[in-house]
Amino acid sequence: MKTNQKCPKCGSTDIVAGVELNAGGANTVQLEVCRKQLGGLVQPVEARGKATAYLCRQCGFVEIYADTPAQFRNATA
């Protein structure tokens, strides 16, 4: 979808690139990886980065890519 501008679900080429993910406020949603301990305690964020979405206008399917995936290379959830 990112590279060929074609929806993998319905085959449509009516794709909107660069759709922002928004939590309803002024800030764009970011991807975060937090390591979890036994017992459910959450450690500080190990990696954080922006994401860009691609939206199919025919079926509504949304595909999301990290803008800088390399910064998650050593992060584990």
Residues that bind Zn ion (CB under 5 A): 7, 9-10, 12, 56, 58-59, 61
Q: Which is nearer to Zn ion, 31 or 56 (CB)?
A: 56
Q: How far is the CB of 17 from Zn ion (least distance, A)?
A: 14
Q: How far is the CB of 15 from Zn ion (least distance, A)?
A: 8
Q: Say whether 9 sits in a helix, a strand or coil.
A: coil
Distance CA 36, CA 62 (A): 27
Q: How far is the CB of 66 from Zn ion (least distance, A)?
A: 22
Distance CA 4, CA 43 (A): 38
